[in-house]
Chain A
Amino acid sequence: MVLLALLLLLPLVNIFVESFRQYVPGRIGGLVGASYTLENYITLLHPVYVGYLVTMLWCATAATIVALVMGYPIAYVIARTRSHATRMALLGLLVGLLFLSALVRVYSLELSFGSVGLGRIIAGLMDVSPNSRTYAEFLVMIGLVHHSIPLSALLMTGTIQNINPKLVEAGMALGAPLWRAQLSITFPLSMPGILSAFLVCYTINMSAFVVPMILGKGKIHFLSNLVYDRYAELANFPSGSAIAVQLLLVTLIATYGIGWLLRRWTSEGAGV
């Protein structure tokens, strides 16, 4: 435990410190020993970077919500179905998808929904060109959703399994229609699972890298793309660290903010 905390914290501190260092173009990393500066953070106040942040937030939030909505029925079926074959098939599908490397999945989405696939039809419906920025944003969201559904479904299954089905039967015996019984009984009780799924999927979507890079056609940049450029190509570690810190803070605030809201709506808030 202590070892893990060490491994987690020390690098984090290092990044934080690095973000305050000066960067000398052409050299590798920040200038050690020189005075610290806030410049890396001030640059981020530029409206363009705020724009990138907003796009990222919009894509990640919308994608996570859609993924949760789409994943819930699957989780429900896996948890409740009496057919062993169905359960196996669905589990197999979800697990198989997870092990299909992210890069391959992204390229297959590019082929399916890109300008050489269904893109022409869908973009036509949206009245934009399939190579346009608007459609690229849509593609990125599709990519994020596709990536998140297996995760969310698998995470929610465990919780739904532990809910007593007799509760819904009892509700219906008391006169509630099925839809009302589900909404007021199963749904709130599965909240810990939904919350966990939300947290994991949201953080993954916020720090998504491959999906925006390939599906975004270079027109959509998530913060982690900006960081990658600075770390892996430019060796401008200070600026990269500043953006990483920003991403961490934003994700923390957004995740816990929305999580807190969700918990407010349901009184059963067992678990963190």
Chain B
Amino acid sequence: MSGISKRKFLTQLGAGVGTAALFTSKPWIRRAAAADVTLVGVEWGGPWLEGAKAVAAKQPKFNIQWETHGGGAAAIMAKIKTAWPTPLYDFVAQFDPLYYAWMREGWPEPLSIDEMPNLKDIPAESFVRNDKGQIINVPISQSGRFWGYRSDKAPFAVKKHEDLLDPRLKGQICVPDALQSQNSMVAMFALAFGGDEKNMEPGWDFMKRLAKSGNIGRVAKTEVDFINSLSSGECSVGIWSNAAWSKIADVGPCVFLSRVPGDKIFRTGLLTEGFMIPSNSTKKKEAKEFLNFFVSPENNQLYNEKLNFVPTNLKSGATKMAQNIVFKTSEERKEFAVVFDFVTLGAQQNQMTAKWEQEITPLLR
């Protein structure tokens, strides 16, 4: 190329080498103190991170370097997979059904109650076990998803699920898409109309009716989308998690449809969040010790306060907003709480997303 002299090329090369040298030394980043044991953990940002940091601050032994999930779940999994077996993290926060994705890749480190005594205060059904029967997650929060509406903005008081198809709600409903919580909204529809996670057709039928009715104002892709939609008044009815509803309740009066007797759609879908330890971590013993500390009764309560989630430790207390999804008796649980079969839903995620793209989105008016 004319105009590029040898001198220019060498300058460029020199600049490149210099820059590379600069980056490897990185004088502008302060390193963590070498004295404490440092663990690298991944959490979600915002109130999740605040809660996690608050708990970490209560103990002197471990110095935690926090990394946040910047985007969707697969981003962190892609990083781990491409780096494997080079260790990146000592513990990672995930939720149903990512536990199963991890197990399929063979990543989680098995845990036991002997090594982590605080786990005995957590109900057995919150644990996920690998095919050897070993526990692989440390459950820390339980959240629930349910329908609700802003009573100051909704055209009328929604009482039963048929109301969702009412023409007065045109453009007023904000729903999640198939990627949110493994399409548990449609799964709930399926359960209500005689199907289940393996046979979702009845659920899809109702979803199509809802789409055709023109009542869907927005299909939210993230929790922030949903919160903004309802807080700005764009939509007035929707379904999302307890955490989202607590934010919207700050904006205007809400009615929560988390336990409507006799209605099989206006119930609560439960899901747990927890930590997993990658088996290639170099500090597994320390990570287990730290996580054990994390789920002690006081710490579990502290962590969940900011989130308004239900602590998994039975000895912890829950906030007022979290009471929405606390089901004290087993009859209550049976009638109003649903724990989805996330293994099946997770395996179908790709098909369900394709189905949503192909059959639901075109119907939206």
Contacts and interface: CB of A to CB of B under 8 A. Distances in A.
A and B touch in the complex (CB under 8 A): yes
Interface residues of A, number: 41
A232 B72 contact: yes
B179 A234 contact: yes
Contacts of B4: 1
A130 B71 CA distance: 29
B350 A234 contact: yes
Contacts of A214: 225
Interface residues of B, number: 47
A12 interface: no
Interface in B327-365: 346-351, 353-354, 357-359, 361-362, 364-365
Given A3-B16, A27-B101, A116-B233, A226 B357 contact: yes
B235 interface: yes
Nearest to B359: A48
A26 B177 contact: no
Contacts of B78: 28-29, 231, 235
22 contacts: A26-B346, A29-B81, A46-B358, A48-B359, A48-B362, A114-B234, A116-B232, A130-B171, A131-B172, A131-B217, A131-B234, A131-B235, A133-B364, A133-B365, A218-B220, A218-B361, A232-B72, A233-B73, A234-B350, A235-B74, A235-B78, A239-B350
Contacts, number: 111
A229 interface: yes
Contact of A234 (B71, B228, B349, B361): B349
Given A132-B171, A219-B361, A229-B179, A27 B348 contact: no
Interface of B: 4, 12, 16, 71-75, 77-78, 81, 100-101, 104-105, 170-172, 177, 179, 214, 217-221, 225, 228, 232-235, 346-351, 353-354, 357-359, 361-362, 364-365
A228 B219 CA distance: 16
Contacts of A48: 357-359, 361-362
A51 B172 CA distance: 25
Nearest to A226: B357
B81 A28 contact: yes
Contact of B71 (A29, A43, A232): A232
A226 B179 CA distance: 12
B308 to A, nearest CB: 24
A124 to B, nearest CB: 13
Contacts of A133: 364-365
Contact of B101 (A28, A49, A114): A28
Contacts of A235: 74, 77-78, 101
Given A25-B347, A48-B357, A234-B353, A132 B218 contact: no
A161 interface: no
A34 B204 CA distance: 33
A28 B179 contact: no
Contact of B177 (A43, A130, A131, A218): A218
A27 B74 CA distance: 10
A43 B171 contact: no
A23 B234 contact: no
Interface in A211-263: 213-214, 217-219, 221, 226, 228-229, 231-236, 239
